């Protein structure tokens, strides 16, 4: 009996050792990417298609054998736009082997996780917080900073104002979410407006999910705004512009939005209200994105028909391209066995000029730059479609105008 | 002055939505004495069902409305039969917590279905604005407002002049006494949840017409709950009056106080009203004051 027990225990032990060996072999060469994303909350409309693009891109890379034989593991966590949930998720996953990049999709979350990233000597990417350009650390921005892109919008506003035969400078109103994202554009953007001589009205802020925005729009219109910039992640900007349209404001005042304004997918239903809206974007929008073969092919391969195509998908792909370029450089520098998150941080600073197949401008990461790219393109909603009205143009450096 | 009236009218339009949401909560409370936290989900699902037929399947307005009502009513009935009926005889707090659990469970289904996307209702009401002496009123919202007022009138009449309404009022007064007169109280519970769900569907469709169908929609239930409490949990009139009042206070307050206090009035107005009402009239503005012997 005793002998049988010993044999049984030895067999169990052998199976366990076998399983451990097998699993460590199958995950022998793997690196991780953590996405702290909002899949079910106020910015889900942005996060879901973006992470779809990233995941599909990673799947493609993995199916081709990975990066120099190293497979990429995508970990997506639903934060519901909640900073506490995101911080807790990061703490839970920070010990994941070879977790090289954390994408904190929210300005508030990015700020909160940044300290932990510094402590762990890791790398974080965030949407557009200019603070990380002002104080160079381990946090990188997806494109130009929010304030840079807002400054580009102001440049366009000045051009448009003059093209309409006006002299002097216009009056510009701003309304957005009452949170770090909503306020970020103004930290440098406001100074840039002053520099251009634009009269910038006191900004209006409201929480995500506000039913009607009439009060804020009426106040800005009454104060004499010629242009109103509607912030927030869609559907918020769409709903703000719908309200403005219902009030008859869009007839007299030009509405503008940032990258998270209406997508081609959402414009169909509110085409009338959104007509003429100007969108400043650092990634391709509308048919520009739909006609980009690199983006369209991946979508068709993984998602089928282009009927439900969302241009944010392309932006997610560009995160993947950056990751792959960084990983390639890091592997070349130290090899897989010595690879640490800090090596990825070093590698990201050296991928300056990386071409992203036209989805956005070339990568501008360097030891002194945390901007993912420097260019923006201005689009306009025309006959229910998003059409470009400018070529790629360099966004002004508004970050340096603000004291952080 | 025109500006004031513009803000006031927009506020009343929003207030009518709050009132509609609150009406469903009041209906359930009137007959069962359960404060339903799940109501926001019924509102959201009502809108979603309507969208499925109107936007998803492309059916005409009336053909979309009927199945949306039926499905929402069915959801209300299921909640009552499966989750709340087993709790009859248990402390009311258990039922209250159960409605919270239902909210969370249904929220899971709601967000899982939406997958982070937004569903927009195609325009099913006339668009454009009515201009009255410089005051602009969106026609679709004016229709929503009129529907809300008519619905309140219809439900009040049902309560006052029909046999079913009498049964509901009797049940609200005293379950045992109602049972002793031959009223099947359990059936009344079912009917009231069906009615409440149908009112929620109207509220959901009207609200989704303004803010689309996305994860925030169920949370209008919180505003509805505040209105119901302030109006008096058992008063339909209270729900209507306080709903309109809250919309008015939020909008006019934001218009004139925001510049003085630096913004945010709209976010806190409802809670300030709730606090003030509860301090002055704990049973709500139109609620029945109950004096209990100790």
Q: Hunting for tokens 């249904």 — which residue is that? A: B106
B293 inside 8 A of chain A by CB: no
Reported ipTM: the value is: 0.82
* pLDDT for A23 beyond 60: no
Return the closest-CA partner of residue A262 out of B148, B118, B106, B181.
B118
Distance from CA of B184 to the nearest CA of A (A): 41
* 8 Å CB contact of A211 and B259: no
**DSSP structure string for A150-183:** HHHHHHHHHHHHHHTT--S--EEEEEEESSHHHH
Interface of B with A in 151-210 (CB under 8 A): 207, 210
* Lowest-pLDDT range of A67-71, B71-75, B76-80, B270-274: B270-274
Question: How far apart, in Å, are the Cα atoms of B164 and each of A194, B81, B188, B205, B235?
Answer: 67, 19, 8, 26, 18
Top residue of B9, B125, B216, B255 to mutate, by most chain A CBs within 10 Å, is: B216
Of A209, A214, A270, the CB nearest to B120: A270
CB of B212 within 8 Å of any CB in chain A? yes
Which of B17, B56, B107, B116 is the mutation pick for testing A, counting most A CBs within 10 A?
B116
pLDDT at B35: 93
Q: What is the mean pLDDT of residues B27-53?
A: 93
Task: Give B211 or A306, the one with higher predicted confidence.
Answer: A306
Mutate to test the interface with B, among A211, A245, A267 (most CBs of B within 10 A): A211
Stretch (H or E) spanning B267: helix B265-280
Average pLDDT, chain A: 92
Is B45's pLDDT higher than 60?
yes
Q: Name chain B contacts of A39, Cβ cutoff 8 Å.
A: 115-116
Determine what percent of chain A is predicted with pLDDT higher than 70. 96
> Residues A311-352: pLDDT tens digits?
999 999 999 999 999 999 999 999 999 999 999 999 999 999
Interval A176-180 mean pLDDT: 92
Interchain CB distance below 8 Å, B116 and A266: no
When scoring A37, A235, A312 by the number of chain B Cβ atoms within 10 A, the one with the most, hence best to mutate, is A235
Compute the distance between CA of residue A329 and CA of residue A325 in angstroms, rounded to an integer: 6
User: In a 3-state reduction of DSSP, which class is residue A212?
Assistant: coil
Tell me the per-residue pLDDT of A356-404, one tens digit each, with 9 for 90 and over.
999 999 999 999 999 999 999 999 999 989 999 999 999 999 999 999 8
Instruction: Kindly state the percentage of chain B with pLDDT values over 90.
Output: 53
A189 touches chain B (CB under 8 A): no
- Note the pLDDT of residue A14: 76
Note whether A235 contacts B212, CB cutoff 8 Å: yes
The Cβ of residue B150 has, within 10 Å, a number of other Cβ atoms equal to 10
| Residues B215, A215: C-beta atoms closer than 8 Å | no
The pLDDT tens digits for A131-175 are 999 999 999 999 999 999 999 999 999 999 999 999 999 999 999
Q: Nearest Cα to A338, choosing from A138, A127, A70?
A: A70
Q: Which residues of B touch A211 (CB under 8 A)?
A: 14, 17, 207, 210-211, 220
- Cβ distance A44 to B219 less than 8 Å, yes or no, reads no
Would you call B263 and A204 a contact, using CB atoms and an 8 Å cutoff?
yes
Does the distance separating the beta carbons of B258 and A211 come in below 8 Å? no
Residue B71: the pLDDT is 97
* Structural domains of chain B sorted by starting position, each given as residue range(s) with its CATH number in brackets: 2-116+135-280 (1.10.3470)
Provide, as residue numbers in chain B, all residues whose Cβ is less than 8 Å from the Cβ of A216: 254
Element (H, E) at A393: strand A393-394
C-alpha to C-alpha distance for A249 and A277, rounded to whole angstroms: 12
- The pLDDT of residue A96: 93
pLDDT of residue B291: 67
- pLDDT tens string A220-250: 999 999 999 999 998 899 999 999 998 889 9
Q: Which of residues 8-67 of A touch B (CB under 8 A)?
A: 38-42, 44-45, 47-48
Query: Is A214 at the interface with chain B, CB within 8 A?
Result: yes
Closest residue in B to A219 (Cα–Cα): B255
Give the lowest-confidence range in B120-129, B211-220, B252-261: B120-129
Residue carrying structure tokens 């919309």: B247
B220–A211 C-beta distance less than 8 A:
yes
A250 at interface of B, judged by CB pairs closer than 8 A: no
Taking CA atoms, A241 is separated from A231, A372, A386, B214, in Å, by 10, 29, 15, 17
Query: Least CA distance to B253: which residue of chain A?
Result: A215
Residue A7: predicted pLDDT: 74
The alpha carbon of residue A4 is apart from the nearest alpha carbon of chain B, in Å, by 50
Q: Does B14 touch chain A (CB under 8 A)?
A: yes
Tokens at residue A403, please? 């004291």
Residue A64: the pLDDT is: 93
Cβ contact (<8 Å) for B117 and A234? no
A contacts of B255 (beta carbons < 8 Å) = 215, 218-219
pLDDT of residue A192 exceeding 90, the answer is yes
Q: Say if the Cβ atoms of A266 and B118 lie within 8 Å.
A: yes
CA A310/CA A287 separation, integer angstroms = 10
B292 pLDDT band, cuts 50/70/90, is low
Residue A242 in 3-state DSSP?
A: helix
Listed as own residue / partner, the contacts of A78-81 with beta carbons closer than 8 Å and 24 or more positions apart are A78/A37, A78/A38, A78/A39, A78/A40, A79/A36, A79/A37, A79/A38, A79/A41, A79/A105, A79/A106, A79/A109, A80/A38, A80/A39, A80/A40, A80/A41, A81/A38, A81/A41, A81/A42, A81/A43, A81/A106, A81/A109, A81/A208
Share of chain B above pLDDT 70, in %: 99
Statement: residue B294 has pLDDT above 70 = no
Between B119 and A189, the more confident residue is: A189
Does the pLDDT at position A112 exceed 60?
Answer: yes
Task: Quote the minimal CA–CA distance from A211 to chain B in Å.
Answer: 6
CB contact under 8 A, A214 and B251: yes
State the Cα–Cα distance between residues B87 and B139, nearest whole angstrom.
Answer: 45
Please tell me the predicted confidence (pLDDT) of residue A12: 73
Contacts of B175 (CB under 8 A, 6+ apart): B185
Distance from CA of B191 to the nearest CA of A (A): 31
Going by pLDDT thresholds of 50, 70 and 90, the confidence category of residue A294 is very high
pLDDT tens, residue by residue, B138-170: 888 889 899 999 999 999 999 889 998 888 888
For A276, which DSSP code? T
Mean pLDDT of B263-284: 89
A41 contact residues in B (CB cutoff 8 A) = 215
Least Cα separation, residue B160 to chain A (angstroms)? 33
All structural domains of chain A: 30-144+291-373 (3.40.50.2300), 146-281+377-401 (3.40.50.2300)
Chain mean pLDDT for chain B? 90
For residue B37, the SS3 value is coil
What count of CB pairs under 8 Å joins A to B?
A: 95
Q: What was the pLDDT predicted at A27? A: 53
Q: Is A20 a residue whose pLDDT tops 80? A: no
Residues in chain A closer than 8 A to B120 (CB atoms): 235, 266, 269-270
């Amino acid at each position: 009996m005793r002998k049988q027990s010993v044999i049984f225990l030895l067999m169990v032990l052998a199976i366990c050792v076998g399983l451990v060996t097998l699993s460590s072999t199958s995950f022998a060469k793997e690196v991780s990417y953590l996405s702290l994303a909002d899949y079910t909350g106020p910015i889900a409309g942005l996060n879901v298609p973006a992470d779809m693009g990233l995941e599909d891109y990673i799947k493609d890379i993995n199916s081709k054998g990975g990066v120099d034989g190293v497979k990429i593991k995508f970990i997506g966590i639903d934060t519901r736009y909640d900073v506490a949930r995101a911080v807790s998720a990061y703490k839970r996953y920070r010990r994941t082997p070879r977790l090289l990049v954390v994408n904190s999709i929210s300005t508030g979350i990015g700020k909160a996780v940044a300290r932990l990233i510094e402590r762990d000597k890791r790398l974080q990417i965030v949407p557009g917080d200019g603070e990380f350009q002002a104080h160079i650390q381990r946090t990188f921005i997806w494109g130009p900073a929010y304030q840079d892109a807002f400054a580009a919008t102001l440049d366009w506003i000045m051009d448009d104002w003059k093209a309409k035969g006006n002299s002097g400078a216009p009056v510009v109103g701003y309304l957005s979410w009452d949170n770090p994202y909503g306020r970020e554009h103004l930290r440098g953007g406001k100074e840039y407006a002053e520099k251009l001589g634009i009269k910038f009205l006191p900004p209006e802020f409201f929480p995500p999910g506000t039913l009607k925005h009439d009060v804020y729009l009426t106040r800005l219109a009454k104060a004499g705004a010629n242009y109103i910039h509607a912030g927030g992640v869609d559907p918020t900007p769409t709903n703000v512009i719908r309200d403005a349209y219902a009030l008859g404001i869009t007839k007299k005042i030009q509405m503008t939005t940032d990258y998270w304004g209406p997508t081609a997918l959402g414009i169909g239903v509110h085409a009338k209200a959104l007509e003429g809206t100007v969108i400043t974007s650092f990634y391709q929008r509308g048919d520009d994105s739909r006609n980009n073969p690199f983006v369209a092919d991946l979508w068709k391969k993984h998602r089928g028909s282009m009927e439900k195509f969302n241009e944010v998908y392309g932006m997610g792909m560009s995160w993947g391209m950056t990751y792959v370029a960084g990983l390639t450089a890091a592997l070349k520098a130290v090899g897989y066995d010595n690879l640490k998150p800090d090596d990825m941080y070093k590698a990201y600073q050296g991928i300056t000029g990386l071409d992203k197949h036209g989805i956005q401008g070339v990568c501008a990461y360097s030891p002194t730059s945390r901007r993912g790219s420097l260019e923006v393109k201005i689009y306009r909603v025309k006959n229910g479609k998003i059409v470009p009205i400018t070529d790629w143009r360099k966004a002004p450096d508004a970050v340096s105008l603000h004291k952080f | 002055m025109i500006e004031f009236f513009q803000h006031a009218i927009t506020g009343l339009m929003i207030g009518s939505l709050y009132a509609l949401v609150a009406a469903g909560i009041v209906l359930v409370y009137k007959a069962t004495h359960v404060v339903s936290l799940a109501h926001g989900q019924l509102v959201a699902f009502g809108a979603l069902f309507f969208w499925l037929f109107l936007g998803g399947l492309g059916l005409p307005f009336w053909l979309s409305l009927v199945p949306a009502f039926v499905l929402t009513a069915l959801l209300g009935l299921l909640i009552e039969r499966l989750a709340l009926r087993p709790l009859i005889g248990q402390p009311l707090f258990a039922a209250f917590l159960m409605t919270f659990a239902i909210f969370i469970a249904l929220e899971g289904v709601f967000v899982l279905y939406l997958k982070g996307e937004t569903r927009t209702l195609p325009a099913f009401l006339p668009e454009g604005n009515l201009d009255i002496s410089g005051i602009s009123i969106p026609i679709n919202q004016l229709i929503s407002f009129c529907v809300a007022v008519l619905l309140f009138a219809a439900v009040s009449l049902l309560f006052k002049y029909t046999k079913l309404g009498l049964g509901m009022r009797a049940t609200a007064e005293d379950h045992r006494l109602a049972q002793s007169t031959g009223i099947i109280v359990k059936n009344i519970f079912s009917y009231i949840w069906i009615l409440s769900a149908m009112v929620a569907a109207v509220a959901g469709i009207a609200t989704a017409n303004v803010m689309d169908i996305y994860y925030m929609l169920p949370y209008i239930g919180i505003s509805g709950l505040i209105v119901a409490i302030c109006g008096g949990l058992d008063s339909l009139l209270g729900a209507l009056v306080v709903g309109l009042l809250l919309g008015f206070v939020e909008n006019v307050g934001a218009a004139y106080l925001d510049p003085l206090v630096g913004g945010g009035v709209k976010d806190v107005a409802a809670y300030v009203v709730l606090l003030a009402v509860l301090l002055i009239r704990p049973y709500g503005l139109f609620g029945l004051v109950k004096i209990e012997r100790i």
